[in-house]
Structure 1
Amino acid sequence: MTASRARSPIAAGRRHSVGVRPDGSVVTAGIPRAPECRVDDWHDIVAVAAGNVHTFSNTGRSHTVGLRADGTVVAAGWNGDGQCEVAGWSGVVGIAAGWRRTLAVLENGTVHAAGRGREGACGVGAWREIVAATAGDWHSVGLRADGSVAAAGVNRKGQCEVAEWRDVRSIAAGYLHTAAVTASGRVLAAGDPSSGVTRVSDWRDVVDVSAGSYHTVAVDKHGRVLATGDNSQGQCDVTSWRDVVSVAAGSTHTLGLRSDGVVLSTGNNDDGQRDTAQWKVRLR
């Protein structure tokens, strides 16, 4: 779920995947007529985010968000809680999409939120000096310029217990867990043990991390990919991947962006969300 750290060219939701082409247009994989895949008229996009719902949710509805080069934002898909009401936003440098929620990091270090506010995950108005944000199903996480981390929303599994984290450079939020990469390449994690949070401390030289519903994926400085947590759909079958520069974990599938712009995929493909073999995606 996205992915989205600050500005990612790939994103994975529950039933769809999204990528930014080199010309700034957007390509999707999933159900062709689904609202979240209606992005044909988008242009000048530099980053995407995909809304997500966890594996056992009774709805497959989600949304897609795009960041334009001029700092404005577009959105398509399910808007039941106003998560797509982003047309007035400007000065945006980073985006994130969760279940029923969209976040935007602004140039001045503050964060906008649109969508469901009932559980507190949109309670980001007091955040300052934020350089990246990520949205899980029920919680939001922000990375400050000094490497510390803020969180808001449901904390049922301890996924918001990040106040002591330091020297962080990348963050990711899943269904009930949070992961982060430190400046030294170590991975920190909090939340639901079934998502692999107790098994990432041995990872080294990590440069990027992403959190799915119940799995965690990372890429190291050598372009190799690591994964842990639920593998019931093969979403952690990434050991053969090489030359990867970025990863995106969806609900039950995983994407990897190779250094040549090719997008690899593994895991669930019930809705065609893994049909990325013909993509050519821009790099960061």
Structure 2
Amino acid sequence: MDYTSSIEAALKVKRPRYTAIAAGRRHTIGLRLDGTVTAVGDNKVGQCDVNGWRDMVAVAAGNVHMATNTGNAHTIGLTSQGTVVAVGWNIHDQCEVYDWHDIVAIAAGWRRTVGLKSDGTVIAVGRNNEGQCAVSNWRDMVAVAAGDWHTVGLRSDGTVTIVGNNQYGQCEVSGWSDIVEVAAGYLHTVGLTSAGTAVAVGGNKHGQCEVSDWRAMVAIAAGSNHTIGLQSDGTVVAVGWNKHGQCNVGDWCDIVAVAAGCAHTLGIKSDGTVVAVGDNEYGQCNVSSWCS
């Protein structure tokens, strides 16, 4: 075997069996290396009916804010062709994405779905009572995130724009710069800078915005009232609401990706397995048996 083949073989062995994860209020979604999808947790409205999905490159899980105790969640999948599929609760048309095309990234919030197109524009469907779907004039975007009542867009120049509810200052990001990733929770917004630090605005009742001392971060995630940071050494930090142990990630290691739901936290390890902590009332943390 030549040198190139040896490297390719090594990469194949180390490539994660699960390449992406998403967390909703009561369910968890996992994207496998082969483009298929699995789900665990509450399936009251069909949000876990993803077994037939194929050729997926990204997944997103709609959340339910803390004041709501119903299973009104949905799940979104992005195919390699740039089209989008959806299952679950659809009372606000948040699953009406079947005519979408040329999509490169997706996000799912409370009762809505957001898509980033290859030309840097953004589309959204679903609940728009607070203007959280008013993204038709956005341009030059490279990433999107969806909180419960606000939608976040990251521009190619590292600045951030937000529409929707701003009751707790979760949209006050005009001074942010050099941002490379964004995340949105129930009432807070988090940004990751190119220097590996983090910034946050919005509701801070549980300390979910206390990220100013974070360093060497490579990824972030925002749950309803907690915030997760993945460090360059594969360890994870967390701040915020911890009633269900969703911030108990101090012993995690060798993590390559993170996600945060309403009250649970997920991580993908470098071997492709998935770990979870937090609220497991509906089995949304039952991922220990997941394999390729």
Specify the TM-score bucket, using the shorter chain as the normaliser.
Answer: over 0.9
Aligned to 2:66: 55
2:256 & 2:66 partners in 1: Cα distance?
26
1:195 & 1:18 partners in 2: Cα distance?
26
Choose from 270, 278, 292 the match for 1:267.
278
CA deviation vs aligned residue, 1:143-181 (integer Å, no higher than 9, x gap): 011100010000000000011110000100000000010
2:35 & 2:180 partners in 1: Cα distance?
26
| Deviation for aligned residue 1:199 | 1.6
Higher-RCO chain (CA-CA 8 Å, sequence separation at least 6):
1
**Are residues 182 and 130 of structure 1, via their aligned partners in 2, closer, same or farther at CA, if it must alter by over 3 Å?**
same
CA deviation vs aligned residue, 1:78-125 (integer Å, no higher than 9, x gap): 001000000000100000000000000000000010101111000111
Choose from 238, 244, 254 the match for 2:249.
238
What TM-score does the superposition give when structure 2 sets the normalisation length?
A: 0.92
Choose from 202, 207, 219 the match for 1:208.
219
Matches within 5 A, 1:160-199: 160-199=171-210
| Deviation for aligned residue 1:280 | 3.4
Judge conservation of contact 2:45–2:73 (CA < 8 Å) in 1: no
Aligned residues: 274
State the Cα RMSD in Å. 1.2
Which runs of no fewer than 5 residues in structure 1 stay unpaired?
1-7
Aligned to 2:15: none
Amino acid of the residue matched to residue 108 of structure 1? Answer: D
Q: What secondary structure is seen at the aligned counterpart in 1 of 2:47? A: helix
The answer to whether residue 42 in structure 2 is matched with residue 31 in structure 1 is yes
Which aligned segments of 4 or more residues in structure 1 are displaced greater than 4 angstroms?
Answer: none
Identity of aligned residues (%): 52
Matches within 5 A, 1:1-284: 9-32=20-43, 34-280=45-291
Amino acid of the residue matched to residue 35 of structure 1? Answer: G
2:71 & 2:180 partners in 1: Cα distance?
31
Amino acid of the residue matched to residue 46 of structure 1? Answer: V
Judge conservation of contact 1:111–1:125 (CA < 8 Å) in 2: yes
Judge conservation of contact 2:209–2:239 (CA < 8 Å) in 1: no
Judge conservation of contact 1:83–1:100 (CA < 8 Å) in 2: yes
CA deviation vs aligned residue, 1:32-76 (integer Å, no higher than 9, x gap): 564100111110001100000122313221000000011000000
What TM-score does the superposition give when structure 1 sets the normalisation length?
A: 0.94
